[in-house]
Structure 1
Amino acid sequence: MTPQLTDVDEVRKLYLDVVKRSLTGALAEDSDSVLGGVSWQGNPSRLRRAVSSAARLLDRVGVEVAIKKPYDPELRAIGKDWPSRAESMIGLRRMTNIEECVDIVVREDVRGDLIETGVWRGGAAIFMKANLRAHGDVTRTLWVADSFQGLPAPDVAGYPADTGDRNHELGGLAVGEQVVRHNFERFGLLDERVRFLVGWFKDTLPTAPIDRLSLMRLDGDMYESTIQALDALYPKLSSGGFCIIDDYGSHSSQAGQAVRDYRAAHGIDEPIVDIDGSGAYWRRA
């Protein structure tokens, strides 16, 4: 006879483990490099751009060309590879950080909603919602904020730290709102408590109808995107809430510098905790 799982925490842990491994492509060991896929679009190499264009033409007639690569669990753990088909590129450790933070927020009843700014295919936001569902929390809203057309061209005059940034040229970063909504639906997690903020952060975040936040996860890569999110959202973060910066280490001169400037300007001295060399977070005192 198969033993029955009766411990609620154990069942929750098993469910969330499967979801995060699915969202990151770790479950399927998704490691193929699809020609014309996310890591090829906007590549500075002329050859890769030409191959990408040809592959996208083939894709129109239902033909996908992929280069097989061995799956590296260490790279997937820290989000240093870029899965072609997965809903998230952040890796398992940053997913686990979301899980741990949401667990504390719910168990300690930290007041406020959750938000991710910069969602790509929606993977991290979907996992935030999965954690709320796993805890039976039906009171908090999850805010999903993105331009859904990629990153903006750098505003060098206003934000010189973004000089030379090429993220706006990477077509693989532009994922439409309907695609992200469908990804929520595929996991059975789209409901009235998932609300989308569509547009550039400077236009959507200052006027978003958000009262309080218990968790804010910023994934904008650039100085501009990060500082605009901090300016609009950090004053709404509850005591005991979490501020997670996906690109603190990986984009230290941009997102990381925006964080350091904001913290210095507002006297924030809670320690910053590294997650995996790329992401970091702190808890508001």
Structure 2
Amino acid sequence: MTDLPPPGTGHHSPVQLYLDLLKRCVTNVIYQDPPISPPWAPQVPFGLEARVEGLDCPSQAHTMVGFARLDNLRELTERVLRDGVPGDFLEAGVGRGGAMIFVRGVLKAYGVTDRRVWLADSFQGFPEPPAEVRYQLRDVYPELAGEADEGRRQAAEAMKALFLRGGSADDVRENFRRYDLLDEQVNLLPGWLADTLPTAAVQQLAILRVDNDLYDSTYLTLEHLYPRVSPGGYVVVDDYHFLDECRQAVHDYLKASGTPEPDLTTIDQCGVYWRKEI
């Protein structure tokens, strides 16, 4: 159990000021990089509202999740520290690493040295989905609906290549280093989740953050890691409200595992979280 200041106090304390600045840095609302535009659309300038709400795809920022989901991640991290919920922090599907950079910053701000952050990702893009997976790019980008399959595939690959710029394992480590947050408490799990998660040296999790986008990856993450979430710990699903396949994978896993439907709390227009029953 870690002694923390009560919620809502110390708004001008060094910890509060540091974490607020860190949030602004990982989202890059300071230097305001333009978002990546789809290949079929003209380049658009930086928009503060879209970045704060996590609705654009940054060209340089280290995360695209926006303020509300980062604030939620901080709040949940502080809760598990305050309540003494055992375990580490793991994100599956890490992008450029910004969300876990923020969590590592929270731990450092409070002097926590006995917990790790884990980042599980292929660090080489998305796996080729099997034919039965129902995720379709046109469901997210209707502009592609009239294109031929090959054109749609090429457009998708172009967007993924742009978004994953800076997303290799070495680049994610470098991003941590730039914030002076790369140390022995930061652990990367590179490789396809089906290969890495079953044998990952993760004993207990206080927070599991799922940001895989695809059905199979979301299901695999829950299948292998939800049993390791400590009672009283939290599960955050980033794209629950945004991607039907992500939402379906959550409920399919809960049903298949015999887990009662949890009381979901909406974070923003994309994400939800729930607390694992004690």
Give the TM interval when normalised to the shorter protein.
0.7 to 0.9
In structure 2, the partner of 1:211 is 203
In structure 1, the partner of 2:255 is 264
Query: What is the aligned-residue identity percentage?
Result: 39
1:231-242 alignment, distance < 5 Å: 231-242=223-234
- Structure 1 residues 196 and 223, CA, compared in 2 at 3 Å: closer, same or farther? same
Residue identity in the other structure for 1:24: T
1:158-169 alignment, distance < 5 Å: 160-163=133-136
- Structure 1 residues 272 and 8, CA, compared in 2 at 3 Å: closer, same or farther? closer
**Given the alignment, which residue of 65, 69, 73 partners 2:48?**
73
Distance 2:192 2:20 in 1: 32
**Given the alignment, which residue of 89, 102, 111 partners 2:77?**
102
TM-superposed deviation, 1:163: 4.9
TM-superposed deviation, 1:85: 1.3
Equivalent residues of 2:59, 2:162 under 8 A apart: no
Residue identity in the other structure for 1:269: E
TM-superposed deviation, 1:270: 2.2
* Structure 1: gaps (5+ residues): 1-6, 49-66
In structure 2, the partner of 1:128 is 103
Normalising by structure 2, what TM-score?
A: 0.83
In structure 2, the partner of 1:18 is 21
Distance 2:11 2:230 in 1: 28
In structure 1, the partner of 2:141 is none
Distance 2:106 2:12 in 1: 12
Higher relative contact order (CA 8 A, sep 6+): 2
In structure 2, the partner of 1:54 is none
- Structure 1 residues 145 and 277, CA, compared in 2 at 3 Å: closer, same or farther? same
Once the two structures are superposed, residues 113-135 of structure 1 have per-residue CA deviations (whole angstroms, 9 ceiling, x without a partner) of 11011111110110111111111
Normalising by structure 1, what TM-score?
A: 0.81
Residue identity in the other structure for 1:162: Y
Equivalent residues of 2:238, 2:272 under 8 A apart: yes
Distance 2:58 2:11 in 1: 32
Residue identity in the other structure for 1:114: F
Equivalent residues of 1:148, 1:176 under 8 A apart: yes
- Structure 1 residues 171 and 188, CA, compared in 2 at 3 Å: closer, same or farther? same
Question: Is 1:172 matched with 2:175?
Answer: no
In structure 2, the partner of 1:59 is none
Residue identity in the other structure for 2:98: G
TM-superposed deviation, 1:264: 2.5
TM-superposed deviation, 1:9: 8.0
TM-superposed deviation, 1:68: 6.4
Residue identity in the other structure for 1:109: G
Once the two structures are superposed, residues 219-276 of structure 1 have per-residue CA deviations (whole angstroms, 9 ceiling, x without a partner) of 100101100000000000001101001111111x211110111122323332111111
In structure 1, the partner of 2:179 is 187
Residue identity in the other structure for 1:27: I
Once the two structures are superposed, residues 39-63 of structure 1 have per-residue CA deviations (whole angstroms, 9 ceiling, x without a partner) of 45xx3x3x87xxxxxxxxxxxxxxx
Residue identity in the other structure for 2:269: G
Aligned residues: 248
TM-superposed deviation, 1:168: 5.5
Equivalent residues of 1:31, 1:68 under 8 A apart: no
* Structure 2: gaps (5+ residues): 1-9, 139-152
Equivalent residues of 2:203, 2:228 under 8 A apart: yes
TM-superposed deviation, 1:72: 3.2
